């Protein structure tokens, strides 16, 4: 009897241990879920540059172009940047011109085809085949449709800025165009295009690597800019008349 009672007590103790273990696991899982929710809430409140909510790869459009800009494949990114550097050096440093380059390449191509066509008669080989450019009509329509949508979107933004509804955006665009005009007065178009291309291959990958530090400094800078804008608005912008007759009703 004593042994039987001891077995009952040990079984009851093991059952209680299992129940307490399940309760502790449930509590830990619920606490971990709550911790994850708190972490997500805190993470969503972190300041991101330009109000970014997506990863840098998604902001750049994703796909192969974003992979090239973010150096996902080092060989391809280095090759693209090296090719752009060679083109810039050819036209800017060596003083080559686009029309001259096209004419020289055309001369070499025609001379090569001419020699190949005449040599094929003696070597009993078929003459060179010049390929034809074939573009599907569906592809052309899709490209034209995308261009039309983007042009209309740009015109809509331009109308919104020119309407004067958002004075802050209007002043920002004017300031940006003025800075761009100063840059364009000292740098030609090809050099400006090359600098933009290099920045696309350097700034995003560096920002992705040090985004927390950059966002922290950007937040401080943005707070200071808002303070200065508030002072500027109070001293000057608020004193600009905004049409006293606009709200009056006609008799």
Phi, psi of 54, deg, nearest 5: -110, 160
Tell whether 91 and 202 lie within a shared domain: yes
Same domain for 87 and 194: yes
pLDDT class of 246 with cuts at 50, 70, 90: very low
Q: What is the mean pLDDT of residues 165-187?
A: 85
Average pLDDT over residues 106-122: 87
Same domain, 147 and 171: yes
Confidence at 197, pLDDT banded by 50, 70, 90: very high
- pLDDT at residue 42, rounded to an integer: 43
Statement to judge: residues 142 and 164 lie in one domain? yes
Domain count, the chain: 2
92 in any annotated domain: yes
- Looking at the fold, whether 166 and 202 belong to one and the same domain comes out as no
Enter the pTM of the model.
0.59
- Write the DSSP assignment of 103-147 as a string of letters: HHHHHHHHHHHHHHHHHHHHHT-PPPPPP-----HHHHHHHHHHH
* Last residue of one domain, picked from the residues 171, 186, 201: 186
Q: Is residue 126 a part of any domain in this protein?
A: no
The answer to whether residue 23 sits within a structural domain is: no
Is the predicted pLDDT of residue 49 greater than 80, yes or no? Answer: no
Q: Examine residue 154 and state whether it is found in any structural domain, yes or no.
A: yes
CB 71 within 8 A of CB 205: yes
Which domain range does residue 179 map to? 136-186
- Mean pLDDT, residues 28-51 taken together: 51
Give me 106's structure tokens: 């055309």
- Do the domain assignments include residue 198? yes
Per-residue pLDDT reduced to its tens digit, 121-147: 777 777 778 778 788 888 889 889 989
Residue 148 included in any domain: yes
Listed residues 170, 186, 202: the one ending a domain? 186
As given in the structure block, the two tokens for residue 179 are 């800075």
110 part of a folded domain: no
pLDDT at 202: 93
Query: Does 117 fall in a domain?
Result: no
Mean pLDDT of the chain: 77
End residue of a domain, out of 186, 201, 221:
186
Residues of the chain with pLDDT > 70: what percent?
75
49: left (phi over 0), alpha (psi -120 to 50) or beta: beta
Whether 207 and 182 map to the same domain: the answer is no
- Residue 107: pLDDT above 90? yes
């Amino acid at each position: 009897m004593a042994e039987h009672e001891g077995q009952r007590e040990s079984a009851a103790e093991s059952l209680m241990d299992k129940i307490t273990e399940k309760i502790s696991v449930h509590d830990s899982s619920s606490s971990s879920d709550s911790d994850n929710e708190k972490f997500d809430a805190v993470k969503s409140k972190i300041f991101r540059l330009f109000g970014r909510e997506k990863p840098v790869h998604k902001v750049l459009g994703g796909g192969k172009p974003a992979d090239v800009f973010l150096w996902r494949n080092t060989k391809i990114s280095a090759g693209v940047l090296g090719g752009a550097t060679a083109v810039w050096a050819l036209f800017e440093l060596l003083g080559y011109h686009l029309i001259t380059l096209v004419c020289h390449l055309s001369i070499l191509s025609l001379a090569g085809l001419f020699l190949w066509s005449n040599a094929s008669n003696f070597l009993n080989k078929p003459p060179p085949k010049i390929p034809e450019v074939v573009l599907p009509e569906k592809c052309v329509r899709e490209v034209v449709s995308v261009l039309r949508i983007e042009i209309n979107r740009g015109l809509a933004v331009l109308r919104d800025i020119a309407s004067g509804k958002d004075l802050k955006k209007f002043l920002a665009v004017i300031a940006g165009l003025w800075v761009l005009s100063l840059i364009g007065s000292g740098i030609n178009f090809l050099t400006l295009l090359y600098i933009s291309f290099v920045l696309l291959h350097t700034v995003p990958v560096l920002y992705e690597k040090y985004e927390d530090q950059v966002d922290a400094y950007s937040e401080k800078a943005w707070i200071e800019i808002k303070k200065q804008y508030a002072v500027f608005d109070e001293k000057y912008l608020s004193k600009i008349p905004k049409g006293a007759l606009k709200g009056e009703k006609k008799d």
